[in-house]
Amino acid sequence: MDGYHEHPTVCIPLLAQGDTLGVLHILSENSEKGTFDGPLATSIAEHLGLAIANLQLRNNLRQQAIRDPLTGLYNRRYLTEVLEQTINQAKRRNNMIAVCMVDLDHFKKFNDSFGHDAGDLVLKKVADEFKSCSRVGDIACRYGGEEFCLVFIDITEKNALYVAEKIRNRVKELELNYKLKPLGRVTLSMGLSIYPIHGTSASELIQLSDKLLYQAKAEGRDKVVLGSINIDAT
């Protein structure tokens, strides 16, 4: 409280469940020396500490409900809630969005050869690449197992393909080691669909992207397959 030494002041820690969340500073506008109502100030600090703790708990529970605990990416539940809203916003703004389904090629070999901890390491490192390549507003989601879904907001078909290829190449260049043992290269198969070119609903875009993903696997893996206007998502 430097500079306010002529005013009566008090500092009270904000506590909740044994944790210090902050400090409540109270400064009197009266320059005359005086005393504070100690019990009242303490009571205010206690209520503020509990209120902040409750907000933090609520936020933590929300994050646990929408985040994958291993990778820190959004989960499938969140994608289901948000993708349709994102499409509606794109419709109002006359924007395009891209939905990219991603699968790690031959992921089972990491678990079988090095153990599940090594497999978890691979998932986390790949997820980190998804995060680093995502812009504000984009969505990176762990769809299930080794399958992911990426949503690129306000993007053209050409740029969406560029970003998908960039992600594929960056993951392929990862040099991963577990317990001083190299794990080998990680490659991705990716299916990419564009709103509104290839579909106008979340289910249409996801179904088509998933179909294109399996097409990428059938064509040798380690590639991005972009949807065409004529391809059938059913």
In a domain, 232, yes or no: no
pLDDT tens-digit profile of 1-46?
565 566 677 888 988 878 888 898 887 776 555 566 778 888 888 8
State the pLDDT at residue 132: 93
- Looking at residue 190, which CATH number applies to its domain? 3.30.70.270
Question: pLDDT: is 4 or 142 the higher one?
Answer: 142
State the pLDDT at residue 147: 97
Tokens of 137: 């507003």
In a domain, 41, yes or no: yes
Same domain, residue pair 62 and 78: no
pLDDT tens-digit profile of 44-75?
888 888 888 778 777 666 666 789 999 999 99
Known active-site residue 146: yes
Same domain, residue pair 89 and 203: yes
Q: What are residue 47's phi and psi, to 5 degrees? A: -65, -40
Same domain, residue pair 167 and 194: yes
Give the Cβ contact number of residue 41 at 10 Å: 15
Q: Tell me what the mean pLDDT of segment 111-122 comes to.
A: 94
Tokens of 72: 């820190």
Could you say which of 129, 146, 147, 165 is catalytic?
Answer: 146
Domain hosting 124: range is 74-226
Same domain, residue pair 43 and 81: no
Return the percentage of the chain with pLDDT > 90, whole number: 64
State the pLDDT at residue 4: 55
Same domain, residue pair 51 and 135: no
Same domain, residue pair 50 and 79: no
State the pLDDT at residue 230: 42
State the pLDDT at residue 199: 94
Give 128-134's long-range contacts (Cβ < 8 A, gap of 24+).
129/167, 129/170, 129/171, 129/174, 130/73, 130/102, 130/167, 131/72, 131/73, 133/163, 133/166, 133/167, 133/170
Q: Give me the number of domains the chain comprises.
A: 2
In a domain, 146, yes or no: yes
In a domain, 102, yes or no: yes
Same domain, residue pair 61 and 162: no
Same domain, residue pair 134 and 55: no
> With helix as H, strand as E and coil as C, how does the chain read?
CCCCCCCCEEEEEEEECCEEEEEEEEECCCCCCCCCCHHHHHHHHHHHHHHHHHHHHHHHHHHHHHECCCCCCEEHHHHHHHHHHHHHHHHHHCCCEEEEEEEECCCHHHHHHHCHHHHHHHHHHHHHHHHHHCCCCCEEEEEECCEEEEEECCCCHHHHHHHHHHHHHHHHCCCCEECCEECCCCCEEEEEEEECCCCCCHHHHHHHHHHHHHHHHHCCCCEEEECCCCCCCC
Same domain, residue pair 192 and 100: yes
Same domain, residue pair 79 and 168: yes
pTM (2 decimals)? 0.73
In a domain, 4, yes or no: no
In a domain, 19, yes or no: yes
In a domain, 161, yes or no: yes
Same domain, residue pair 60 and 81: no
State the pLDDT at residue 233: 38
Q: How far is CA 104 from the centre of its chain?
A: 18
pLDDT tens-digit profile of 167-219?
999 999 999 999 889 999 999 999 999 999 999 999 999 999 999 999 999 99
State the pLDDT at residue 232: 41
Question: pLDDT: is 135 or 232 the higher one?
Answer: 135
Same domain, residue pair 202 and 98: yes
State yes or no: pLDDT of 115 exceeds 80: yes
In a domain, 45, yes or no: yes
